[in-house]
Amino acid sequence: MLNHLLSGDLPRSRVLAVVLVIILAGLLLTPFIFPGAKALNVAAKICYFIVLVASFDLLLGYTGIVSFAHTMFFGIGAYGIAIALTRMGPTWKGVAVGVAAALLISLILSLVIGLFSLRVKAMFYAMITLAVASAFMTMASQFSDITGGEDGLSFKVPELLTPGFSLREAPFLGVSLDGKLITFYLLIAVTVVLFLLMLRIVNSPFGRVLQAIRENEFRAEALGYRTVSYRTSSNVLSAMFATLAGALMALWMRYNGPDTSLSFEIMIDLLLMVVIGGMGTLYGAVVGAAIFIVAQNYLQELMKLASSASVKIPLLRDLVHPDRWLLWLGLLFILSVYKFPTGIVGKLRLSAWRKRTAQPGA
């Protein structure tokens, strides 16, 4: 049953399986074991970033396409929800229209970019996507009547998803059963469904062709596959999932602006998460997103505690000062890439494979 659900692509490592179970359990139990708005926001961010990182891995890890326009599609999804709910009010019809319009725009843009750009060399394609993404961010900042400009758009969501909505007056295990909690578990459910769908895609015959193109495009072409068509299809599918991730982010935050969904910093974070988790695995998106976002949000607090504990040691106190958290975050990721060149998932799978082959009779 599990093998069928995961499209035959099991973790292939007991340690990885345990890590994935811990991450899923941690997300599901966050409202009950980690009280407070920050923990819930971090868990929600992990969810929609899993979808975003996995969609980028579909493009980079499985097809070998380097695109800097991925956050543009993320932003289109977020702006689709924001503009629709601002104009149509907090209704489910507005949500449906926003998602549908965003998907349509992303479909057209990704198709155009793919058809006109994927015929060129990889470096030129990357530069083209960077230019398109920069132009889109400028447009989002300038068209203030539609997008809210630099200030962005704050909007209301359907009543079921608002903190004011309550399933019952009495808390359950100390947690209020309100619209915020409903939104959180809806976010987890959609994330799981989208992740399993992407897992199905990469393990289908279509996904196998994408991997063949990544390994040797000329050989795939010689075998009769129209590589441009497959690469364009991969570009479109990746954009669709990124758009849905943006819609999830907007519904959770009830706000969207250029810095929230279109920032180039998000693109850099995406690259880090894919590399840390492991390219071409999809499971790496789960591991990479969880580790990166937790470190991003809690490393500074841990350093604050370390700085207070080492107050009598001037040099150590200065080294672990909370203001230097970005330096340590960078060093941690450099070490992780050095230690896990194929990503954490790749390393765990390789270790498990070596143990199996080293067993007598294997």
Q: Which domain covers residue 160, as residue numbers?
A: 2-358
Query: How large is the average pLDDT for residues 331-353?
Result: 82
Q: What local confidence, expressed as pLDDT, does residue 86 receive? A: 93
Among 173, 140, 136, 178, residue whose Cα is nearest residue 161: 178
The answer to whether the beta carbons of residues 161 and 251 sit under 8 Å apart is: yes
For the chain, percent of residues with pLDDT exceeding 70: 96
Tally of domains within the chain:
1
Check which CATH number belongs to the domain holding 17 and give it: 1.10.3470
Question: Does residue 276 contact residue 268 with C-beta atoms inside 8 Å?
Answer: no
What pLDDT is attached to residue 333? Answer: 77
- The pLDDT score that the predictor gives to residue 248 is 96
pLDDT single digits (tens) 148-175: 888 889 999 999 888 888 777 777 777 7
Return d(Cα 171, Cα 329) in angstroms, integer: 38
Q: What's the pLDDT score for residue 76?
A: 95
Of residues 252 and 347, the one with the higher pLDDT is 252
Residue listed under structure tokens 């790496």 = 284
Give tens-digit pLDDT for 225-283. Answer: 888 888 889 999 999 999 999 999 999 999 999 888 888 889 988 988 998 898 888 99
Instruction: Give me the pLDDT at residue 361, please.
Output: 53
